[in-house]
Structure 1
Amino acid sequence: MTKKQASTKNSTKSPIESGLAEEALSHPTRVRVLGWLRHQEAKTQSEVGKALALSNAAARYHLNVLEGSELVILQGTRSGPNGITEKLYAYNPEVWKQLSEQPDRAENFVFMLDYTFASIHEMHRKAVEMIKADWKPAFLAGSVGAFATPDEVGKLRGELNLLLDTFYESHKDASRPDTNPVAITFAVLPSRAEDAEGWAGERVFDWTGR
């Protein structure tokens, strides 16, 4: 089969079937771009670049790749600085749903793992920038190593999920007065023995604010 025939054959497949979506998200920057766009209204290339600290050239390149895989779609245009018309990009919920909902292949599990941690890293990056700019808000960050049986780890996961779900359900209303936006990230992960031993002591940055 020639490259042209292969291209024609792939064009009849969905972005998931052809592997274009997974290939597009093999780069961590594109995972960050898609993760950010999923929680925004349609944005211009310059807005994406500014939000994620990317050059215009880098933002344009990664958006083009995501658009080619249909993970990102165009939603019209808007007049930008100096009267220049800019394209508006938004994530494609239909293709995202196909890719992320109930993964049934190893590739999909790998993608969701990469996407989840890229999203967490992006939250941490932005939070660190905010903290350095203003040390007034209180925060807590840290890690701990431990040795536990699978059942004990399962119990901890259940308790942690319940705690966070309960907190979220009672604090998800953004219109409540006198509230501040807070990002809560969490993980219970496998570890090498030497790392768990190294993290066994307290490694917590508990800042009470100013």
Structure 2
Amino acid sequence: MAVSPAASPNWASGPDIELDTAALRVLAHPMRINVLALLRQCGPSTATRVAGELGINPGAASYHLRRLEAGGLIVEEPGRGTGRERWWKAAHRQSIHDPASGAPEQREAGRAYAHAVALACVERLRTAAQEVPLLPEEWFDVSTFGDFVLRLSPKEVALVRDEIFAVISRYRQAQGEDSEGLAPVAVQVQMFPVPGTIAPRTVGS
């Protein structure tokens, strides 16, 4: 499994980052996932602007921004702001975490991170659902809200996941400079056992 806050090549300060244990712990909070995704999608911002976009108070926004800075996930935008109002930008285009290849000590941190990503995705889908009645026809006609159940082994889940990620990567790499008619499109990919069908692990195992 590889999960990340929404990525955008337009506002990246550097290449993708493979999350270590410390960064996973920083991102084990859905609001910090949303703050980082906002900076990646919309570019540099301040605590006040972030608070307005995400519906939180500026103090909370400042706290989450400081945690992201401490984790090396965002950096201060040079040449902007004052001592009272700092501008922040994402330090990387995308965060990558694959627990199958991670160190054993990363397992619990990886679970907490995946949990936060899932909660952030739920919130984004809820917001998108509120806008469905207002979508222009050309966007409503192509938008997709699907829920499919397949019978797969863990190996087959990995194969399907990798095929989907390859398609996403192909479209990302094919994007040129001409942005006419383009809009940011959220592509959510969730694959998990239907709740209640798999015996839970023993905590600590």
The TM-score range, normalised by the shorter chain, is 0.5 to 0.7
Q: 1:126 to 1:159 in 2, by over 3 A?
A: same
Distance 1:169 1:60 in 2: 31
Q: 1:177 to 1:117 in 2, by over 3 A?
A: same
TM-score (norm 2): 0.60
More helix by share: 1
Contact kept in structure 2, 1:77 and 1:87, CA below 8 Å: no
Contact kept in structure 2, 1:100 and 1:112, CA below 8 Å: no
Higher Rg: 1
Contact kept in structure 2, 1:72 and 1:90, CA below 8 Å: yes
Q: 1:63 to 1:147 in 2, by over 3 A?
A: same
Residue of structure 2 equivalent to 1:65 = 67
SS of 2:76's equivalent? strand
Distance 1:122 1:133 in 2: 18
Size of the aligned set, in residue pairs, is 172
Contact kept in structure 2, 1:43 and 1:90, CA below 8 Å: yes
Over the aligned positions, Cα root-mean-square deviation in angstroms equals: 3.9
Q: 1:129 to 1:76 in 2, by over 3 A?
A: farther
Residue of structure 2 equivalent to 1:53 = 55
More strand by share: 1
Residue of structure 2 equivalent to 1:144 = 148
Larger relative contact order (C-alpha < 8 A, sep ≥ 6)? 2
TM-score (norm 1): 0.59
SS of 1:73's equivalent? strand
Contact kept in structure 1, 2:30 and 2:117, CA below 8 Å: no
Q: 1:34 to 1:164 in 2, by over 3 A?
A: closer
Distance 2:42 2:154 in 1: 38
What runs of 5+ residues in structure 2 fail to find an aligned partner? 1-19, 199-205
1:44 shift after superposition:
0.8
Distance 1:121 1:171 in 2: 28
Q: 1:129 to 1:45 in 2, by over 3 A?
A: farther
Contact kept in structure 2, 1:35 and 1:115, CA below 8 Å: no
SS of 1:188's equivalent? coil
1:65 shift after superposition:
3.1
SS of 2:87's equivalent? strand
- For 1:88, give the aligned amino acid: W
**Are 1:89 and 2:62 counterparts?**
no
Distance 1:179 1:26 in 2: 32
Distance 1:108 1:184 in 2: 25
1:193 shift after superposition:
5.4
Deviation string 1:159-189 (CA, Å, 9 cap, x unpaired) is 54455455x2586336254344422222221
Name which of 169, 187, 202 aligns with 1:184: 187
Distance 1:115 1:174 in 2: 33
- For 2:45, give the aligned amino acid: K
Distance 1:58 1:180 in 2: 29
Of all paired residues, the percent bearing the same amino acid is 22
- For 2:192, give the aligned amino acid: L
